[in-house]
Amino acid sequence: MVPMYKHQGQSKISGGSSKRFVYVLPKFVLGDDEELEIDLKELNGNRRINLWYKNHQIKRLNAFWRKNI
């Protein structure tokens, strides 16, 4: 899936620092038994982060954001 929009995407992050970034994906639907997997890999490096979200976790996040925005 290709992001529709990237906000503050960094090509380089210095050691010991942190950065925030936002990727907007096209709208999609997850079935009750499906999961969303986000895999972040370091370019030319060995670090990798895998995030898994189940459908019910995403629904809870949506409810949270609707109440607090």
Q: Decide if 35 contacts 58 (C-beta within 8 A).
A: no
Q: In this structure, is the dihedral angle defined by the CA atoms of residues 52, 54, 55 and 60, taken in order, positive or negative? A: negative
Of 63, 56, 51, 50, whose CA–CA distance to 30 is shortest? 56
pTM of the entire structure? 0.58
- What pLDDT is stored for residue 50 in this prediction? 93
- What pLDDT is stored for residue 10 in this prediction? 65
- What pLDDT is stored for residue 55 in this prediction? 79
- What pLDDT is stored for residue 69 in this prediction? 67
- What pLDDT is stored for residue 1 in this prediction? 79
DSSP E strands: which ranges in 1-69?
5-7, 22-24, 35-41, 48-54
Mean pLDDT by 10 residues, the chain (69 residues): 79 78 85 87 85 81 74
